[in-house]
Homo-oligomer: A and B are copies of this chain.
Amino acid sequence: MANVTTRDRILDSALTLFSEKGFDGVGVDLIAEKAGLKGPSLYKHFKGKEEILDTLIDRVEEYYESRFGSEIHPGQIPSSMEELVDVSLKRIQFTMKDDAIQRTRRILTLEQFRNQRISGLTSRHNLEGVKGMYRKIFQEMMAAGVMRQADPEMLALSFTAPITLLIQMYDREPDREAEIMERIQTYFRFFAKEYAV
């Protein structure tokens, strides 16, 4: 953790606290303390509390832009339904449990009604990003003949929506991780069997 700027420490601190108590539930003094300084010193780095949140959202936007922006890189296209399940499970394990990603999800959830920017970003996150990636994967799997022919857009929605809901559940109730992972696996296996060639 060498050479991390004060600004970054403030943002990390705010990411954690906002994700746990919401924007309104956290005072600037607490953010500052967690970053190793005093409340008023924040104003040397940000114009105000709101700008800290805005900057966090900026980062999320950049991340999604780089991830799902121009062209989608689904990585290796699975060569069988079994591989699809394996690869997807690993991807979800990561996305679900990665600290920064989870905190970001929780902030979006809590602040999604605050302004249009966050609303739109949340919609894109929950309904476009990952779905678009799987649409592409399914298209190629169908072309390769390892998956039954069907509307790839609808299939992607059907594949990702239950997972999105179960990840939301994990964010709420991390104690039920085992149950949630099993539900995801069960659904994946159902899907794999249903759309096998």
Contact = CB atoms under 8 A, between A and B. Distances in A.
Contacts of A39: none
A195 B112 CA distance: 35
B161 A165 contact: yes
The range of chain A's interface size is 35 or more
A150 to B, nearest CB: 7
Within the oligomer, what is the number of copies of this chain?
2
A168 B154 CA distance: 18
Secondary structure at the A interface, as helix, strand, loop or mixed, is: helix
A106 to B, nearest CB: 7
Interface of A: 20, 22, 24-25, 106, 109-110, 112-113, 116, 119-120, 122-123, 126-127, 150-151, 154, 157-158, 161-162, 164-166, 168-169, 171-173, 186-187, 190-191, 194
